[in-house]
Amino acid sequence: MGISCVAYAVSDGNIRRVLADPPLVWRLVEPEDDALYLAEIGFDSCAHAPSVPSLVYTGHERYLLDLDRLWDGLGACLKTCAPRMPCFFDDAQPLGHIDVGYGPALYHRSAAMARIAEACAGISEDQLVAAMKTADFDGVYLGDMWETGSAELATCLKDCFADFQAFAAFAARHQLGAVIHMT
């Protein structure tokens, strides 16, 4: 158990749609479960429930990034490597007010994802692993683990970073934003 992070590449249009109708966040983070949306709008198990709207995705949307529990340590290492890069976790904005796990979902619009992708492209695995020795892990989720700087953790960090880099590049290439979901 622990706080895990997943993110989805999503269009700015769908982000705007969820911001305008916050219960739609459930259609994004749990698209198969109509009951979550209906409960949020006050129709728990009513026979007269309205039809459930859906978000319309382009062929590139819903690309998934799963950072599991490594998200905050990765963020600390990225801050060390690229201090001017928008922080994927800290600089994201709340996507409404609805608690979808550990607080509301967060988002970045496509312009922010393009800046993140550009900054990540300039970071090597060696730089990232070296950042484990100098990053400030004070207050970071699982900070004690990150401070060990073990070889096994470095391998996990490299894998996590490769996934993050690919996600950011994909979002930038397809002019997509990102929605972050902590569970």
Task: Say yes or no: domain 5-21+61-182 is CATH 3.40.1760.10.
Answer: yes
Asked whether the predicted pLDDT for residue 46 surpasses 80, the reply is no
Indicate whether this model's pTM tops 0.75.
yes
3-state secondary structure 93-133: EEEEEEECCCCEEEEECHHHHHHHHHHHHCCCHHHHHHHHH
Q: For the residues 106-126, what does the mean pLDDT come to?
A: 96
Q: What does the pLDDT read at residue 48?
A: 79
For the chain, give every domain's residue range: 5-21+61-182
User: Tens digits of per-residue pLDDT, 52-103?
Assistant: 888 999 889 999 999 999 999 999 999 999 998 889 988 999 999 999 999 9
CB 27 within 8 A of CB 179: no
Dihedral sign for Cα 35, 95, 176, 131, please: negative
Q: How far apart are CA 128 and CA 149, in angstroms?
A: 12
Provide the residue type at 117 as one letter. Answer: A
Using CA atoms, how far residue 119 sits from 8, 79, 82, 86, 122, in Å, is: 19, 11, 7, 9, 6
User: Tens digits of per-residue pLDDT, 125-176?
Assistant: 999 999 999 998 889 888 888 888 889 989 999 999 999 999 999 999 999 9
Q: What does the pLDDT read at residue 49?
A: 77
How many helical (H) and strand (E) elements, i.e. helices and strands, does the chain have? 8, 5
